Amino acid sequence: MANKDTITIQTWIDEQDVDQLVSLLIEASNELNYMSLPDGPDREHAKEHILSTFFNDSVSTVCIAVKDKEELVGVASAVVCPNPLEFSWLAVTNLVYLKPAYRNKGRLGYQLLKTYLDVCKEIGCKAVSFAYIKNKSPKAVKKFLEHFGFTHAEETYYKEF
């Protein structure tokens, strides 16, 4: 891991970072054994999907990037949507990921999540939902989320097509 002076957290993702974001998403998917993300020829499709999601004025998103110099090493992202039960805006977290070499090193994970939550609040979200992969360090994740004031609110089921 690089010197902490080389780490930056920015509240946006640049278009030139999309290739690195695709690689980071593939790394996260492989580590979590969650679902298969495209590599090889389908990588271009993944890149187009990210561009159409994060760089599209009709889709409201939050994307926080963690960089070590110019390398993308972490991300937190959400889609912002109406919360029909509370007549407000809800940030639905779809990824929080930090490369393994950058975890448990100082407070980088804390800073990433704090920045993410601050941005969600600043743009008008009244709540943030956060799901995590059940079989990957649930006790540590629960403790981390509870530190930020999250409460266990629901169970999530997932089906791939």
Residue 7, φ and ψ in degrees, nearest 5: -90, 135
Question: How many whole angstroms separate alpha carbon 125 and alpha carbon 71?
Answer: 29
pLDDT tens digit string along 98-139? 999 998 877 899 999 999 999 999 999 999 999 877 666 678
Q: Determine if the pTM surpasses 0.75.
A: yes
CATH fold label, 4-147: Aminopeptidase (3.40.630)
Which sequence spans correspond to the domains of the chain?
A: 4-147
DSSP state of 16: G
